[in-house]
Amino acid sequence: DGGITQSPKYLFRKEGQNVTLSCEQNLNHDAMYWYRQDPGQGLRLIYYSQIVNDFQKGDIAEGYSVSREKKESFPLTVTSAQKNPTAFYLCASSSPRLNTGELFFGEGSRLTVL
């Protein structure tokens, strides 16, 4: 079945460490997104990518980095510069060429900084 796979589902990090969250999709979608979710704040856009080897900052990109070397993959690195990284992270994709417009989401990764 087609879908989006995020890993790990749970991740614990010590302060000062970088961590990378994986996102893989087999939907053949061009666009991919990373959102951060905190209680009561909805979803906030971190980065998005419309095409391979290109990505743009979202509303809260500071302290995060991404790469898009393959169409299927859009990993997110939470760096030590991110001041409050404990959150639920959601990866999503969409296929504007098909004009469906909706986002498809992975199951999320919960990052806890100890």
CA dihedral 44, 47, 49, 50 (to 10 degrees): 40
1 vs 102, beta carbon nearer other proteins: 102
Q: Is the peptide bond before 8 cis (omega within 30 degrees of 0)?
A: yes
Q: Which stretch binds other proteins (CB under 8 A): 15-23, 62-70, 72-80, 102-110?
A: 102-110
Report the alpha-carbon distance of residue 63 to residue 93 in Å, rounded: 22
85 vs 106, beta carbon nearer other proteins: 106
According to the binding rule CB under 8 A, does residue 41 interact with other proteins? yes
Q: What is the enclosing helix (H) or strand (E) of 83? A: none
Q: Site residues (CB under 8 A) for other proteins? A: 4, 6, 31, 33, 35, 40-43, 45, 48, 50, 56, 58, 88, 90, 92, 94, 96, 101-108, 110
